[in-house]
Homo-oligomer: A and B are copies of this chain.
């Protein structure tokens, strides 16, 4: 099927042209393997400076699932578990990757994809002896899988609960760029680094060809991390292939501009859809929009555009929730065309 445009996800294209240029520019330079190259050193320094954590450690991996499973498994003892909302990526879209490393995810109901301090405490209260797993890490995503974000205050509350309870806080930042550039964001990357023990900054969904940057803030969790990477098959011989990309993303503001653009066109989509009179599953300020549209219109749109139909709407009859996802590469013209078609189909 040939579509006018894919709003299916934020990884439909290759990489931002500047990253392609960077790969070309550095291509034939001989470098050491497995992360001992000068690019990986430089990328690590750039990221540490940006988050204002000179003692952090930075490692590069290929996928978000890889980041999640390696990071969490590196922290946990065999009997320890992860607390996460039921919509968290490792619980819904990672084929049991965490359990495959031997650990349970204690799932709780989220609020628009967000975990609350209360639900953390409830898990702790019901896990009190050796007949049960011992929760040790709290997993959150920023932005969440439902396109929402945690405010600075919410992050700090979570962090406080974790520190008081002896839990580590881990953040999945597959869409960290989009979260940071949300209009209502009141935090930056150094806020993130301040409140958590380990997190990753997503490249794949924000203009990189592939690659995620793991940041280990807590020194207790840094030792021998490369052993974990290698054992799980994550240590690239040409680590430069990721780190060159992250240099380009972070040496000036490309990472933030990419996300800003994605958010902006998502907002245009949302505004236009709202003007057509449609409601939304939830309010988002990132690059995902979840409108509720009549099934007949969805069918027509699907002939032109690719996107996910998530579920029948519970509130509006004969309607469904769809997901529209934008990226650094989404042209405004595609948004305008989509909105134009929506208006036409409506009448």
Which residues of A come within 8 Å of B, CB atoms? 3, 5-6, 8-9, 11-15, 17, 20, 23-24, 26-34, 61-63, 65-70, 73-74, 77-79, 81, 92-97, 99-104, 130-134, 204-205, 209-210, 224, 226-238, 240-241, 306, 329
In the complex, the answer to whether A20 meets B24 with C-beta atoms within 8 Å is yes
Given the known A-B contacts A9-B33, A99-B99, are A77 and B231 also in contact in the complex, defined by CB atoms under 8 Å?
A: no
In the complex, the answer to whether B237 meets A63 with C-beta atoms within 8 Å is yes
In the complex, the answer to whether B96 meets A81 with C-beta atoms within 8 Å is yes
- Please give, as numbers and ranges, the residues of chain B lying within 8 Å of A12 by CB-CB distance: 30-33
List 28 A-B residue pairs with CB atoms under 8 Å apart, sorted by A's residue number.
Answer: A11-B33, A11-B238, A13-B27, A13-B28, A14-B26, A14-B29, A14-B238, A23-B23, A32-B306, A63-B236, A67-B233, A68-B233, A77-B224, A78-B100, A79-B95, A79-B230, A79-B231, A95-B133, A96-B104, A97-B231, A131-B230, A133-B227, A134-B224, A134-B227, A209-B238, A210-B236, A210-B241, A232-B233
**Closest B residue by C-beta to A229:** B130
Given the known A-B contacts A95-B130, A210-B236, are A231 and B27 also in contact in the complex, defined by CB atoms under 8 Å?
A: no
- Please give, as numbers and ranges, the residues of chain B lying within 8 Å of A9 by CB-CB distance: 33, 237
In the complex, the answer to whether A23 meets B26 with C-beta atoms within 8 Å is no
The distance in angstroms between the C-alpha atoms of A5 and B97, with both chains bound, is: 41
In the complex, the answer to whether B131 meets A224 with C-beta atoms within 8 Å is no
- Protomer copies: 4
Smallest distance from the beta carbon of A307 to chain B beta carbons, Å?
A: 12
Most buried by B among A31, A61, A73, A233: A233
In the complex, the answer to whether B95 meets A131 with C-beta atoms within 8 Å is yes
The distance in angstroms between the C-alpha atoms of A20 and B25, with both chains bound, is: 11
In the complex, the answer to whether A65 meets B233 with C-beta atoms within 8 Å is yes
- Please give, as numbers and ranges, the residues of chain B lying within 8 Å of A101 by CB-CB distance: 102
In the complex, the answer to whether B102 meets A132 with C-beta atoms within 8 Å is no
In the complex, the answer to whether B62 meets A130 with C-beta atoms within 8 Å is no
Smallest distance from the beta carbon of A9 to chain B beta carbons, Å?
A: 6
The distance in angstroms between the C-alpha atoms of A329 and B177, with both chains bound, is: 36
The distance in angstroms between the C-alpha atoms of A289 and B241, with both chains bound, is: 27
